[in-house]
């Protein structure tokens, strides 16, 4: 066991809490090693490969996933979720020749059991072809790679895959194309010949409904595979003459490469039975060369074709080649099959990406042409992020769930508005759209692609908010045409006000705030009609909320939302030039906070006060609700700070952990939905430690939602309970271990559920991140490894790395590096690590890009603010270095 002080800063700050908090809770089930060890995220192999599906799409492009074995699975490029949609006969294969030896392998690890199916394993996945003996999957979003091994081949093969993903740069992160690269290292002293052949079924005509079970379907016919040979790229271009340009299924695909030594088949033999695969494989296995068939002939009605593109190379003794492919797609027509306003369904829109790329080939060419820059940005993001001194499962939780913005949960239409479901059913988005109370929790989009987040705020306030301040919490397409006829959600409306404050602070864009403010004000004041008619600062009335039911009476959950919204409203009113409102909200906040604290505190946490709690269905009463401090947490993230009494807040969070975190589910009875079971660990939505459980409490009370687990974990960290927060976060990721569930698909009411993007809060809390765009102030106060800390960060205008060192340099130094964008900055605040605590800072020095900057400083306890004027602009590639003298 390592000394905890090595890891922790916050622990030294944490005050003694009430009750059980003085001794370590029995619910701290992990060792310090398990919680604090640094390193790369876990690697998947053997049985844990089976559920792995790593999404490779861009923003609003749809996606295909890389399976744990190196297989492509869940094709969701057809403007619909597509869990279980695998393209038949679509795989990469290796030919190897050395002297008289030759071998072929599908570039995948072995198929995992069970091997069931009414005709054996699905033949379309070519299960009978030989594969590598072992696969190891590494997923560090947005990069993934699979190491393939086979004792019989003197090769080290790595299959790399990524889609460009650059913080704050949505356009560069929205390319409907994936880079695949096969690195083949020759481990022997003899030269080897290799071919890597990618086979791809032409799926044009498939509209995402159902599955593609073979080459035959009434959706297929006149599918055309062309061989294109260009100066930059060559390869397969797939289209259909049958599908008209305005049809939802219309589109093109491409499998292209800049490699010059090629072999190919525009289409496999059109035979009977399984002649096609047999002839392809025998030909390939013979010498690694195909027939080089370049025949652009459309397929017969009801059939489609498979084409193959092979890259040939010699690998020198002990040498390496990297064989590159670009897989691109373009399905421009986005069908609204789901609209919340039923009679709006059936309309078609165009994907934003189609405004840039007329077809898949154009997307491939764009990606190829800009690859050096796109890859540099992507790799920089990856390396800064994964070099953070945060535990690997935290990095994994934050990065993996940031992928949700690049799955079919989200889409991006022509004109630039960004939309999202809550999550995805297997084959349909669910539920539509921009659901305010679910999207409240998410932070990843706001911090990675803030312009898209702001587009959602515009929709919330400028489209969905009526003049009386009723915010319609689900969006109908096209924008502004029809509004859904349903009562507002109390948490949805009020949360969006807090989020607006966050987005304004991140962007520093006063014009943006001013544009939205009138509607935000209306939303906030609508509370006085709907939920706080007596304007006492306390929520009452019927409160529809994210549990899909109504709460009644004052309660912790909606109460903290209201307080947070009042505080945010007050600040925004001030900024927007409305001091009267600012004062009103401020006074109401003070009043409400006092009433909240007085009325709802039960000594350990806050509750719901409602006299019919045992009679009226779906309330929580005296329950300890995991979401009770959600409004407070949103306020923390937004930069509004702690507004409840510190001791009670800490006690509340500790109570949530102590009561609601389950270390085992084996004896537990849950009649609701099941997201954790057996030997797993997880945080319940609610418990009744003091009795008083209503006969029928709210309908999700016994469930476990990762989106809530993450915000509670983050909040525990903010308040110094780092062990507890890490324990909750690790429990989530242990459930998503590749054997039980897909680590890149946290599920609630659907796959890739948006609420899970609250995981970004772990990064914010552990790094003690604070930012004010309007004031050009940035700060960090690491919650662990403060003596030698590194973290990735973003603001509304830049992203990069922050490093601080204490004991390691026998003093204190900090460096802020901008990797992308430009950061206007007039203050950097830091928190002194234990090694220099209690010492008085006597001088501060700073340099920007090596040039000294004249700075002042102020010390306040452990905090030190270093500031200067005028604000400096730290450009991409530049570092601002600060040193403190004691």
Segment near a copy of itself (CB under 8 A); pick from 280-288, 358-366, 778-786, 866-874: 280-288
Burial of 530 (0-12, 13-18, 19+ CB in 10 A): buried
Among 274, 318, 486, 528, binds a copy of itself (CB under 8 A): 274
778 binds a copy of itself (CB under 8 A): no
702 binds a copy of itself (CB under 8 A): yes
Report the DSSP pairing between strands 777-779 and 812-831. parallel
Contacts of 840 (CB under 8 A, 6+ apart): 859, 886
Question: 651 vs 706, which CB is nearer to a copy of itself?
Answer: 706
Phi (first) and psi of residue 563, to 5 degrees? -60, -45
CA dihedral 296, 298, 303, 304 (to 10 degrees): 40
Question: 78 vs 361, which CB is nearer to a copy of itself?
Answer: 78
279 binds a copy of itself (CB under 8 A): yes
403 binds a copy of itself (CB under 8 A): no
Q: How far is CA 676 from CA 672, 679, 706, 727, 859, in A?
A: 11, 9, 10, 15, 46
Contacts of 252 (CB under 8 A, 6+ apart): 204, 237, 238, 239, 329, 330, 359, 360, 361
Measure CA of the first residue to CA of the last residue in the chain; give whole Å.
33
100 binds a copy of itself (CB under 8 A): no
123 binds a copy of itself (CB under 8 A): yes
Phi (first) and psi of residue 744, to 5 degrees? -105, 30
Q: Which residues between 729 and 748 bind a copy of itself (CB under 8 A)?
A: 735, 739-742, 747-748
Question: 646 vs 664, which CB is nearer to a copy of itself?
Answer: 664
110 binds a copy of itself (CB under 8 A): yes
* Whole-number Å distance between alpha carbons of 212 and 84: 9
Coil, helix or strand at residue 451: helix
What is the 8-class DSSP label of residue 804?
A: E
Tell the smallest beta-carbon distance from residue 705 to a copy of itself (Å).
10
Segment near a copy of itself (CB under 8 A); pick from 300-308, 693-701, 718-726, 853-861: 693-701
Question: 113 vs 850, which CB is nearer to a copy of itself?
Answer: 113
Cβ atoms of 277 and 161 closer than 8 Å: no
Cβ atoms of 530 and 488 closer than 8 Å: yes
Tell the smallest beta-carbon distance from residue 67 to a copy of itself (Å).
13
Burial of 303 (0-12, 13-18, 19+ CB in 10 A): middle
Segment near a copy of itself (CB under 8 A); pick from 201-209, 358-366, 490-498, 695-703: 695-703
Q: Which residues between 46 and 85 bind a copy of itself (CB under 8 A)?
A: 50-51, 83
Cβ atoms of 33 and 2 closer than 8 Å: yes
Question: 218 vs 669, which CB is nearer to a copy of itself?
Answer: 669
Report the DSSP pairing between strands 686-687 and 770-772. unpaired
696 binds a copy of itself (CB under 8 A): yes
Among 95, 137, 264, 281, binds a copy of itself (CB under 8 A): 281
Segment near a copy of itself (CB under 8 A); pick from 265-273, 340-348, 372-380, 494-502: 265-273
675 binds a copy of itself (CB under 8 A): yes
Cβ atoms of 859 and 840 closer than 8 Å: yes
417 binds a copy of itself (CB under 8 A): no
Segment near a copy of itself (CB under 8 A); pick from 71-79, 235-243, 675-683, 824-832: 675-683
291 binds a copy of itself (CB under 8 A): no
Angle at 370 (CA atoms; ends 367, 371), nearest 5 degrees: 70
**And the tokens for 190?**
């003899």
- x/- contact string, 10-49, with a copy of itself (CB under 8 A)? ----------------------------------------
Tell the smallest beta-carbon distance from residue 704 to a copy of itself (Å).
9
Phi (first) and psi of residue 368, to 5 degrees? -65, -45
| Closest C-alpha among 668, 593, 659 to residue 622 | 659
* Whole-number Å distance between alpha carbons of 129 and 116: 17
Question: 308 vs 570, which CB is nearer to a copy of itself?
Answer: 308
Question: 444 vs 706, which CB is nearer to a copy of itself?
Answer: 706
Contacts of 117 (CB under 8 A, 6+ apart): none
Tell the smallest beta-carbon distance from residue 774 to a copy of itself (Å).
42
Contacts of 54 (CB under 8 A, 6+ apart): 65, 66, 67, 137, 139, 141, 144, 161, 403, 744
Q: CB-hemisphere CA count at 13 Å for 720?
A: 17
Q: How many CB atoms lie within 10 A of CB 355?
A: 14
Tell the smallest beta-carbon distance from residue 389 to a copy of itself (Å).
32
Segment near a copy of itself (CB under 8 A); pick from 72-80, 417-425, 517-525, 872-880: 417-425
Cβ atoms of 335 and 411 closer than 8 Å: no
114 binds a copy of itself (CB under 8 A): yes
Among 94, 168, 277, 497, binds a copy of itself (CB under 8 A): 277
Tell the smallest beta-carbon distance from residue 274 to a copy of itself (Å).
5
Cβ atoms of 246 and 320 closer than 8 Å: no
310 binds a copy of itself (CB under 8 A): no
Tell the smallest beta-carbon distance from residue 579 to a copy of itself (Å).
46
126 binds a copy of itself (CB under 8 A): yes
Segment near a copy of itself (CB under 8 A); pick from 22-30, 389-397, 419-427, 855-863: 419-427
Contacts of 767 (CB under 8 A, 6+ apart): 388, 390, 780, 781, 782, 783, 789, 791, 793, 802
Among 190, 275, 314, 647, binds a copy of itself (CB under 8 A): 275
Q: Which residues between 618 and 647 bind a copy of itself (CB under 8 A)?
A: 618
What is the 8-class DSSP label of residue 111?
A: P
Name the helix (H) or strand (E) containing 335. Answer: strand 333-335
Tell the smallest beta-carbon distance from residue 399 to a copy of itself (Å).
21
692 binds a copy of itself (CB under 8 A): no
117 binds a copy of itself (CB under 8 A): yes
- x/- contact string, 149-188, with a copy of itself (CB under 8 A)? ---x------------------------------------
595 binds a copy of itself (CB under 8 A): no
Among 26, 33, 118, 485, binds a copy of itself (CB under 8 A): 118
Tell the smallest beta-carbon distance from residue 285 to a copy of itself (Å).
7
Q: Say what angle helices 510-530 and 556-575 make with each other, to 10 degrees.
A: 140
CA 274 to mean position of chain CA atoms: 41
Cβ atoms of 855 and 877 closer than 8 Å: no
| Closest C-alpha among 468, 501, 649, 499 to residue 570 | 501
Number of residues that bind a copy of itself (CB under 8 A): 69
Q: Say what angle helices 722-735 and 392-402 make with each other, to 10 degrees.
A: 60
431 binds a copy of itself (CB under 8 A): no
Tell the smallest beta-carbon distance from residue 423 to a copy of itself (Å).
8
Among 26, 33, 485, 678, binds a copy of itself (CB under 8 A): 678
Name the helix (H) or strand (E) containing 579. Answer: helix 579-600
Question: 459 vs 742, which CB is nearer to a copy of itself?
Answer: 742
Q: CB-hemisphere CA count at 13 Å for 880?
A: 28
770 binds a copy of itself (CB under 8 A): no
119 binds a copy of itself (CB under 8 A): yes
Judged by the rule CB under 8 A, the positions of this chain that interact with a copy of itself are 50-51, 83, 103-104, 110-111, 113-121, 123, 126-131, 133, 152, 271-275, 277-279, 281-282, 285, 423-426, 430, 617-618, 666-675, 677-678, 695-696, 699, 702, 735, 739-742, 747-751
């Amino acid at each position: 066991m390592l000394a905890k002080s090595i890891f922790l800063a916050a622990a030294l700050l944490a005050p003694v809490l009430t009750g059980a908090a003085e001794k370590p809770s029995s619910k701290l089930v992990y060792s310090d090693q398990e919680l604090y060890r640094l390193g790369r995220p876990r690697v998947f192999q053997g049985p844990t490969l089976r559920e792995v599906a790593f999404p490779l799409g861009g923003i609003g492009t749809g996606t295909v996933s890389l399976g744990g074995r190196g297989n492509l699975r869940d094709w969701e490029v057809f403007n619909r979720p597509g869990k279980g949609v695998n393209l038949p006969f679509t795989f990469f294969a290796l030919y190897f020749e050395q002297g008289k030896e030759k071998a072929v392998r599908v570039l995948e690890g072995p198929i995992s059991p069970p091997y069931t199916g009414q005709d054996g394993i699905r033949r379309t996945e070519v299960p009978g072809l030989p594969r590598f003996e072992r696969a190891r999957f590494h997923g560090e979003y947005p990069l993934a790679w699979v190491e393939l091994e086979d004792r019989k081949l003197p090769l080290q093969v790595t299959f790399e895959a990524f889609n460009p993903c650059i913080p704050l740069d949505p356009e560069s992160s929205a390319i409907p194309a994936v880079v695949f690269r096969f690195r083949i290292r020759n481990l022997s002293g003899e030269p080897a010949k290799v071919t890597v052949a990618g086979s791809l079924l032409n799926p044009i005509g498939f509209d995402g409904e159902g599955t593609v079970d073979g080459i035959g379907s009434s959706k297929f016919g006149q599918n055309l595979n062309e061989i294109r040979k260009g100066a930059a790229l060559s390869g397969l271009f797939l289209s259909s003459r049958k599908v008209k340009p305005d049809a939802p299924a219309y589109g093109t695909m491409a499998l292209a490469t800049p490699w010059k030594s090629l072999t190919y088949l525009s289409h496999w033999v059109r035979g009977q039975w399984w002649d096609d695969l047999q002839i392809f494989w025998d030909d390939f296995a013979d010498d690694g060369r195909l027939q080089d068939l370049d025949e652009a002939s459309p397929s017969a009605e009801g059939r489609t074709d498979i084409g193959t593109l092979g890259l040939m190379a010699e690998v020198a003794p002990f040498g390496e080649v990297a064989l590159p492919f670009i897989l691109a797609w373009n399905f421009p027509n986005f069908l609204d099959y789901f609209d919340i306003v039923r009679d709006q369904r059936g309309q078609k829109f165009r994907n934003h990406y189609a405004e840039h790329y007329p077809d898949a080939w154009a997307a491939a060419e764009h990606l190829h042409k800009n690859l050096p820059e796109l890859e540099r940005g992507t790799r920089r993001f990856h390396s800064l992020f994964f070099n953070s001194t945060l535990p690997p499962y935290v990095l994994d939780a934050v990065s993996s769930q940031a992928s949700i913005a690049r799955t079919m949960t989200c889409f991006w239409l022509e004109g630039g508005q960004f939309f999202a479901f809550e999550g995805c059913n297997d084959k349909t988005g669910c539920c539509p759209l921009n659901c305010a109370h679910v999207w409240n929790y998410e932070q990843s989009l706001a911090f990675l692609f803030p312009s898209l987040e702001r587009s959602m705020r515009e929709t919330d306030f400028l489209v969905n908010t009526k003049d009386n301040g009723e915010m319609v919490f689900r969006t109908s397409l096209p924008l502004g045409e029809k509004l859904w006829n349903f009562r507002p959600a109390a948490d949805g409306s009020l949360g969006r006000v807090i989020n607006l404050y966050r987005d304004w602070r991140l962007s520093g864009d006063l014009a943006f705030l001013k544009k939205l403010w009138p509607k935000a004000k209306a939303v906030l004041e609508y509370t006085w009609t709907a939920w706080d008619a007596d304007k006492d600062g306390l929520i009452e009335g019927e409160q529809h909320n994210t549990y899909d039911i109504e709460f009644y009476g004052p309660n912790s959950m909606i109460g903290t939302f209201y307080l947070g919204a009042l505080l945010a409203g007050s600040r925004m009113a001030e900024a927007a030039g409305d001091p009267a409102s600012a004062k009103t909200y401020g006074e109401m906040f003070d009043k409400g906070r006092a009433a909240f604290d007085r009325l709802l505190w039960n000594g350990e946490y806050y509750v719901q006060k409602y006299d019919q709690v045992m009679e009226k269905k779906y309330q929580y009463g005296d329950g300890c609700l995991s979401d009770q401090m959600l409004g407070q947490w949103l306020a923390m993230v937004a930069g509004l700070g702690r507004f409840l009494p510190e001791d009670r807040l800490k006690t509340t969070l500790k109570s949530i952990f102590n009561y609601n975190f389950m270390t085992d589910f084996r004896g537990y009875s849950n009649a609701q939905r099941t997201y954790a079971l057996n030997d797993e660990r997880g945080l319940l939505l609610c418990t009744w430690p003091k009795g008083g459980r209503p006969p029928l409490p709210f309908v999700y009370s016994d469930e476990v939602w990762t989106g809530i687990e993450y915000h509670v974990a983050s909040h525990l960290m903010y308040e110094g309970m780092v062990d507890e927060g890490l324990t909750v976060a690790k429990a989530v990721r242990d459930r998503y271990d590749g054997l039980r569930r897909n680590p890149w698909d946290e599920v609630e009411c659907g796959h890739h559920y948006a609420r899970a993007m609250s995981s970004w809060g772990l990064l914010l809390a552990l790094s003690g991140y604070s930012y004010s765009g309007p004031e050009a102030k940035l700060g960090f106060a690491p919650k662990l490894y403060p003596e030698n800390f590194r973290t990735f960060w973003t603001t509304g205008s830049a992203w990069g790395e922050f490093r601080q060192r204490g004991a390691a340099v026998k003093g204190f130094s900090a460096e802020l590096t901008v990797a992308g964008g430009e950061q206007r900055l007039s203050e950097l605040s830091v928190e002194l690590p234990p090694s220099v605590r209690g010492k008085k800072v006597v001088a501060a020095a700073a340099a920007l890009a090596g040039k000294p900057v004249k700075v002042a400083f102020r010390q306040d306890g452990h905090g030190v603010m270093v500031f200067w004027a005028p604000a400096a602009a730290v450009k991409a590639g530049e570092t601002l270095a600060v040193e403190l003298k004691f």
